């Protein structure tokens, strides 16, 4: 856990996909930095999300778990945003947001010829449409100096033939990041993407289940190891901080120098 106590005092944050993995680490680090209120979004793992909420509360921040399945398109986004608005209003008496982390993602692994229309639609819904419309919903409530951080992947830079729709969905979010940066700049709000490499989470646990798979995963990075959620979350938390106010419209590599 980082010790950036106070860096995020008074800040209101929403982290999607915060029940597990990278999102849970980001939410906890924002709390460790003194964030006032954190929305912990999840899809199915209610118990895991509630544990993250408890951990955040133990650090002295307010938090709420927000359930929304995002494969179903705009209905999930509307549900999530309505629940977030209600929760913030209840806790703070007014609705505003300082840090939006669009982190929830799915990563189907199929050869190109076997990638179905359902897989394409689900992946685009969760990885691209949801961040697009969550950001649109959040826009009127984002305070000056806010942060929008989209979690991408190193697979936009390195060819991943088994992850075609995943890579393409993240390419779209990187392009959106660039396009939105000038739009939000008048309020001092930065819009950036952070691109992890192989990071030890459930997303790639099958790959890491064998010694060969673990070696392959570690070999991506110049440091010859798999990234940790802390490795990535530390970078996200930096981008979320006041110190990163002069970075916008960028994709920040968080892959430990993968495939340099």
Which residues have a catalytic role annotated? Answer: 166
Residues 44-63 that bind ligand NAP (CB under 6 A): 44-45, 48
Ramachandran quadrant class, 74 (left: phi over 0; alpha: psi -120 to 50; beta: rest): alpha
**Tokens 């070696």 map to which residue?**
215
Closer residue to ligand NAP (CB): 71 or 139 = 71
Comparing CA positions, the residue from 24, 132, 21, 14 lying closest to residue 70 is 132
Who contacts 60 (Cβ-Cβ below 8 Å, separation ≥6)?
A: 31, 34
Binding of ligand NAP at residue 65 (CB under 6 A)?
Answer: no
User: Which span (54-62, 84-92, 100-108, 137-145) binds ligand NAP, by CB under 6 A?
Assistant: 100-108
Binding of ligand NAP at residue 20 (CB under 6 A)?
Answer: yes
Closer residue to ligand NAP (CB): 152 or 190 = 152
Residues in the chain: 260
CA dist 120 and 129 (Å) reads 12
User: Which span (68-76, 108-116, 179-187, 244-252) binds ligand NAP, by CB under 6 A?
Assistant: 68-76
Closer residue to ligand NAP (CB): 221 or 242 = 221
Binding of ligand NAP at residue 203 (CB under 6 A)?
Answer: yes
CA dist 207 and 39 (Å) reads 30
Q: Can you read off the two tokens belonging to residue 80?
A: 């999530």
Closer residue to ligand NAP (CB): 43 or 149 = 43
Binding of ligand NAP at residue 163 (CB under 6 A)?
Answer: no
**Tokens 């790639």 map to which residue?**
204
What is the binding site for ligand NAP (CB under 6 A)?
17-23, 42-45, 48, 69-71, 103-107, 126, 151, 153, 196, 198-199, 201-204
């Amino acid at each position: 856990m980082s010790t950036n106590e106070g860096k995020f005092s008074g800040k209101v944050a929403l982290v999607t996909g915060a029940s597990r993995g990278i999102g849970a680490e980001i939410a906890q680090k924002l709390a460790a930095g003194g964030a006032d209120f954190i929305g912990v979004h999840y899809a199915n793992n209610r118990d895991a999300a509630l544990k993250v909420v408890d951990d955040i509360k133990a650090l002295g921040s307010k938090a709420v778990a927000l359930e929304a399945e995002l494969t179903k398109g705009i209905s999930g986004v509307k549900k999530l945003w309505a629940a977030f608005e209600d929760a913030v209003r209840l806790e703070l008496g007014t609705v505003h947001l300082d840090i939006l982390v669009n982190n929830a993602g799915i990563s189907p692994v199929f050869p190109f010829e076997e990638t179905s229309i359902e897989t394409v639609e689900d992946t685009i819904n969760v990885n691209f449409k949801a961040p697009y419309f969550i950001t649109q919903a959040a826009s009127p409530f984002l305070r000056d100096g806010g942060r929008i951080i989209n979690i991408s992947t190193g697979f936009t830079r390195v060819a991943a033939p088994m992850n075609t729709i995943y890579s393409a969905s993240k390419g779209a979010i990187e392009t959106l990041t660039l396009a939105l940066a000038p739009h939000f700049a008048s309020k001092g709000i930065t819009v950036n993407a952070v691109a992890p490499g192989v990071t030890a989470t459930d997303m790639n646990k099958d790959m890491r289940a064998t010694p060969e798979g673990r070696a392959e995963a570690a070999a991506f990075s110049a440091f010859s190891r798999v990234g940790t959620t802390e490795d990535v979350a530390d970078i996200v938390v930096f981008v979320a901080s006041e110190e990163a106010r002069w970075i916008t419209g960028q994709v920040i590599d968080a892959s430990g120098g993968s495939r340099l």
